[in-house]
Structure 1
Amino acid sequence: MAQIKEVRLVDDLSGDAADETIEFGLDGRNYEIDLTDDNAKKLRDVLADYVAAARRAAGPAARRRGASNAAARRPSVDREQNQAIREWARKRGMKVSDRGRIPAEVLEAYHQEN
């Protein structure tokens, strides 16, 4: 037997059949709302002056790229210190990988002793 499943969008304000889903962000949070064409227009009209005066922010992917670029610009001191911490931990029988994040317990023990 065949089944047909349907998804119907419902306007989150009026309960009528929605025409579109709008994504927006405020105070560091992202939101989605399903709206009819009329309610979508009202939302855009209300926000129009604010959008016109605002700056476009970098999206999450750009922020991640920026963070990785900053990490790439860090001096080699960080790498040298991490290598020293790894050697210190191994001498004390702690398991640490050659690369990647050093476990918090290892860092805490290292900083308490040094």
Structure 2
Amino acid sequence: MAQRTTVILVDDLDGSEASEQVEFAVDGRSYEIDLSAENSAKLREVLEPYISAARGRSRRRTTSAPAAIPRPVADREHNQAIRKWAAGQGMKISERGRIPSNVLEAYRRNH
């Protein structure tokens, strides 16, 4: 018997149900974020003046995976400080990987 699996995306900003994954790039780094229709519209609205003034550049597709861009030490130290703060607040957070958006929001509100 075949089974159907449904994937529900969660908005990385507010935890609501996301409707799409949005990709963008800044300073040579690519990002992907899951957003609800409302939040993706807000993102596009904020970026629109910059996109319309920018020069378009097509992406080059390669057959091999791109080389990892090393993160600056300051980023690592900042993430470690966020993890330490979150643990001190009793929040569950892993030692590695992406820091959940709700933890980042709480950290920003308190700093």
TM-score relative to the length of structure 1: 0.49
Give CA-to-partner distance per residue, 1:57-113, whole Å, 9 cap, x none. Answer: 13113xx7xxxxxxxxxxxxxxxxxxxxxxxxxxxxxxxxxxxxxxxxxxxxxxxxx
Deviation at 1:29, TM superposition (A): 1.1
Structure 2 CA distance for aligned equivalents of residues 30 and 38 of structure 1: 22
For 1:10, what is the secondary structure of its paired residue? coil
Unmatched 5+ stretches in structure 2: 63-111
Identify the residue that residue 5 of structure 2 maps to in structure 1: 5
Query: Which has the larger Rg?
Result: 1
Alignment of 1:20-99 (within 5 A): 20-61=20-61
Aligned length: 62
Structure 1 CA distance for aligned equivalents of residues 35 and 7 of structure 2: 15
Structure 1 CA distance for aligned equivalents of residues 8 and 54 of structure 2: 34
Amino acid at match of 2:11: D
Identify the residue that residue 78 of structure 2 maps to in structure 1: none
Identity %: 52
For 2:15, what is the secondary structure of its paired residue? coil
Amino acid at match of 2:15: G
Give CA-to-partner distance per residue, 1:31-77, whole Å, 9 cap, x none. Answer: 1111111100100011011001100113113xx7xxxxxxxxxxxxx
Unmatched 5+ stretches in structure 1: 65-114
Amino acid at match of 2:29: R
For 2:17, what is the secondary structure of its paired residue? coil
Structure 2 CA distance for aligned equivalents of residues 30 and 9 of structure 1: 20
